[in-house]
């Protein structure tokens, strides 16, 4: 989470520069919609879900009902399950019967207790990255036939293409950290200007001209140069990473 | 705005540097903005294409931003000398002969 509220206008500008849409709601809307489509195209499914996964963590989840959502939640609390497996192995996972399948013992017994008996999960792939998983659940064992599997596989291709364009919270974190770095850098320039104005009796424009001249003649990056002036003035103990 | 000497020449050379290094206007603007540049992205783009002049100080900040971005680009590959490879292999303990 951001420690400080950022100017939304600036955030939007940066998002536009990066060619991204800056709303988490967009991702949420997309996964909800796709979960619904997955269920509609799979008549044997009692529920369907779509999860966006980043680094083993689920960043967005869309589900057609509470059973799907809680069965999905279980995977992340237990750290195992068909969707996580589909995501990490990049292969579709068919689970015919949760009461007998031994691959995910903890998840299977918990899911079976909640009423989920079979599950088919396909990975959402974008290039070399697995971005999540799409799955259908049923209350009866071995509910899904080859036609269901084929349809869900084709749907997953279209879903991946769509979701790949929706930003995940990881990108949003990256953008806000870029934004913070850029605002911090501007701040340093402002302080350095103020210090020169006070110390050498310059106008604001003269102070800025003086700073650019120093950067040119010394070859020191501007951010480093201004940070040095600010630190030399004893304003802070900032450690610059440039 | 009264143009300063060589303003147009500076503009076209800044633009050429941006184009040649493959930088996007967005990247240039972000760096220029963090160097305390005051002009927005569209105006920077307009300036670079020659539609709108900017005051000399803003032009210099833009030049500084472009140069810093160019300095940050990955350097071109260097060609190794004949003994560089032998020394590198000996140092790494890699005995495969290439």
pLDDT tens sequence for chain A (242 residues): 443 344 455 555 555 545 544 455 667 777 888 898 888 888 889 999 998 887 777 877 889 999 899 998 999 889 899 999 999 999 999 999 999 999 999 999 999 999 999 999 999 987 778 889 999 999 999 999 999 999 899 888 888 877 776 655 556 666 677 888 888 999 999 999 999 999 999 999 999 999 999 999 998 999 999 999 999 854 333 444 44
Interface probe for A, chosen from B34, B55, B56 (most Cβ of A below 10 Å), is B34
B84 found inside a domain: no
Q: Give me the residue from B40, B57, B68 closest to A208, CB to CB.
A: B57
- Tell if the CB–CB gap between B61 and A185 is shorter than 8 Å: no
Query: Comparing C-alpha atoms, which of A46, A54, A114, A117 is closest to residue A82?
Result: A117
Q: Where is A121: in which H helix or E strand?
A: strand A118-126
The CATH topology of domain A1-22+167-236 is: Arc Repressor Mutant, subunit A (1.10.10)
Which of B24, B25, B29, B30 best probes binding to A when mutated, by most A CB atoms within 10 angstroms? B30
B36 within a domain of the structure (yes/no)? yes
ipTM confidence score: 0.75
Q: Which residues contact A74 (CB under 8 A, 6 or more apart)?
A: A81, A107, A110, A111, A114
Q: Token digits for B6?
A: 């060589």
Calculate how close chain A gets to B40, using CA atoms only, in Å: 10
Q: Is A209 on the interface with B (CB under 8 A)?
A: yes
In a domain, B83, yes or no: no
- Give the phi and the psi of residue A60 in degrees, each rounded to 5: -150, 150
Is A58 in the B-facing interface, judged by CB distances under 8 Å? no
| Chain A residue with Cα closest to B38 | A186
List, for residues B43-70, the tens digit of each pLDDT value: 898 999 888 999 999 999 999 999 999 9
d(CA A225, CA A220): 6
The domain segmentation of chain A, as residue ranges, is: 1-22+167-236, 24-166
Parent domain of B67: 7-72
Residue B93 has pLDDT above 90, yes or no: no
Give the H or E element holding residue A53.
strand A47-54
Residue A221 sits at the chain B interface (C-beta within 8 Å): yes
Q: What is the CATH architecture assignment of A24-166?
A: 2-Layer Sandwich (3.30)
Residue B53 lies in a domain: yes
Secondary element (H or E) of residue A122: strand A118-126
Q: How far is B81 from chain A (nearest CA, A)?
A: 30
Give the pair of three-digit tokens for residue B32: 């220029």
Spatial separation of the C-alpha atoms in residues B43 and B49, rounded to whole Å: 10
| Residue B68 falls inside a structural domain | yes
Number of domains in chain B: 1
Q: Are strands A57-63 and A93-95 parallel, antiparallel or unpaired?
A: unpaired
Rounded CA separation B48/A68 (Å): 53
Cα A193 from Cα A208, distance rounded (Å): 6
């Amino acid at each position: 989470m951001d420690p400080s509220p950022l100017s939304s206008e600036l955030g939007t500008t940066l998002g536009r520069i990066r060619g991204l849409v800056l709303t988490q709601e967009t991702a949420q809307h997309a996964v909800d919609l796709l979960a619904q489509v997955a269920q509609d195209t799979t008549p044997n499914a009692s529920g369907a879900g779509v999860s966006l996964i980043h680094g083993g963590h689920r960043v967005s989840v869309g589900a057609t009902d509470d059973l799907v959502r809680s069965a999905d939640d279980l995977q992340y609390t237990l750290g195992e399950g068909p969707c996580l497996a589909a995501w990490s192995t990049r292969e579709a996972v068919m689970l015919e019967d949760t009461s007998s399948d031994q691959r995910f013992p903890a998840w299977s017994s918990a899911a079976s207790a909640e009423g989920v008996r079979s599950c088919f999960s396909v990975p959402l792939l974008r290039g070399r990255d697995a971005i999540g998983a799409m799955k259908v659940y049923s209350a009866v064992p071995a509910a899904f036939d080859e036609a269901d599997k084929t349809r869900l596989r084709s749907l997953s291709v279209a879903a991946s293409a769509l979701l790949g364009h929706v930003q995940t919270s990881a990108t949003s974190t990256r953008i806000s950290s870029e934004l913070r770095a850029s605002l911090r850098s501007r701040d340093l320039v402002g302080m350095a200007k103020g210090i020169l104005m006070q110390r050498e009796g310059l106008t604001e424009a003269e102070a800025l001209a003086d700073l650019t001249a120093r950067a040119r003649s010394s070859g020191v990056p501007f951010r480093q140069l201004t940070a040095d002036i600010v630190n030399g003035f004893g304003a802070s103990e900032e450690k610059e990473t440039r | 705005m009264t143009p300063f000497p060589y303003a147009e020449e500076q503009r076209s050379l800044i633009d050429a540097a941006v184009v040649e290094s493959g930088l996007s206007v967005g990247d240039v603007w972000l760096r220029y903005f963090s160097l305390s540049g005051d002009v927005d992205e569209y105006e920077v783009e307009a300036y670079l294409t020659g539609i709108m002049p900017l005051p000399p100080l803003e032009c210099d900040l833009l030049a500084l931003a472009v140069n810093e971005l160019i300095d940050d680009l990955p350097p071109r590959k260097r060609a190794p000398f004949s003994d560089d490879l032998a020394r590198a292999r000996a140092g790494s303990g890699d005995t495969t002969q290439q």
